[in-house]
Amino acid sequence: MPPHPPSQTEPSVPTEEEDDDIVRPRQHGFDWPLERSQIIAWANILFLFVMFWTLHAPFLPYPASVVLSAIFAATSIAVVCLKASSSLMQTADDGVAGELVYTPKNFLNIVVPEGKILCMYCKTIVSENCKHCRTCDKCIEGFDHHCMWLGACVGVKTYRVFFVFTVTTLFLMTFQAAIGWYLFAASVMDLELYELKVRRIHNVTNATVYQVFVFLIALYETCGATALGNLVMFHIYLKISDQSTYAWILKRREEKRLAEARGEDTRSTTRKIIHCITCHKPASRPGGTEIEEQTGNTSKP
């Protein structure tokens, strides 16, 4: 996607302390320390993988179990490979790996070519469509956003891989959720059959325990698939409107600033509902207006 270049401000002259800083950008998403969300994402993939082969696949009827298990295995491998690739691929601008060009002494004498900008954090010249990521500590070419689930930035070099990874993960969670709901409904309709299956496979005499686990996992996967579906639709909207996530955030931030300057309520609908439920409107003063009640100013000209 062709993201819009972020607005750049005129940099100030660096100090001696800033010049002493060592540039240590993250090379990829697996650089230590890993982000907490990144660890949670890998644990979630492992959890769903284990749940499928222990609670789903053994209870599917033959030969559907063979076909569905093969689809799940192939999709799971694709998700793992795409996630790892999105974390390992280089997103930094080519200039980040180049020569450090400035110090406080020669800062004002640096000639920046057309179409380039000077990043004082990377201490080098990069493309003008870059943005410096504070988490990765490097300039990202065609910056879209920093994905905490990947532990890496998504830029023009990795956006397609990231999008395919998101769609594939959405398919996997929807696929597994559908199987979970099917098994839950089947166990409710024929409890005796599933009591025999549970006793034979897991040596458990009560099939209700199996039903509870299958129901909770299906519900969890449905919620996850819904969230991922919203993310996919959001990125489709960004693609159609020809903007990046970062450009969209800047646009929304500017719209909110202008709305606040006009005195408009910029809270979300959810926040407004919560405020109405948890807060009570102060009693009106005789002859006072709503603005006077909020500001406490009841003086008259």
Domain that holds residue 194: 16-243
Residue 50 domain-assigned? yes
Cα separation, 242 vs 231, in Å, equals: 16
Residues 65 and 180 in one domain: yes
Residues 35 and 144 in one domain: yes
Residues 78 and 218 in one domain: yes
The residues of the chain scoring below 50 in pLDDT are: 1-20, 282-301
The pLDDT value recorded for residue 297 is: 46
Residue 134 domain-assigned? yes
Residue 72 domain-assigned? yes
Residue 1 domain-assigned? no
- Residue 86 three-state SS: helix
Cis peptide before 58 (omega within 30 of 0): no
Residue 199 domain-assigned? yes
The pLDDT value recorded for residue 282 is: 47
Tell me how crowded residue 89 is: count the other CB atoms within 10 A of its CB. Answer: 17
Name residues whose C-beta falls within 8 Å of residue 120's C-beta, 6 or more positions apart in sequence. Answer: 11, 14, 18, 102
Residue 267 domain-assigned? yes
Residues 219 and 263 in one domain: no
Residues 188 and 257 in one domain: no
Residues 158 and 189 in one domain: yes
Amino acid found at 132: H
Residue 9 domain-assigned? no
The answer, as to whether pTM is greater than 0.85, is: no
Residues 40 and 185 in one domain: yes
Q: Are 88 and 30 in contact (CB under 8 A)?
A: yes
Distances, alpha carbon 158 to alpha carbons 115, 202, 240, 266, in Å: 22, 43, 18, 34
Q: Are 230 and 175 in contact (CB under 8 A)?
A: no
Residue 293 domain-assigned? no
- For the stretch 67-80, pLDDT in tens is 999 999 999 999 99
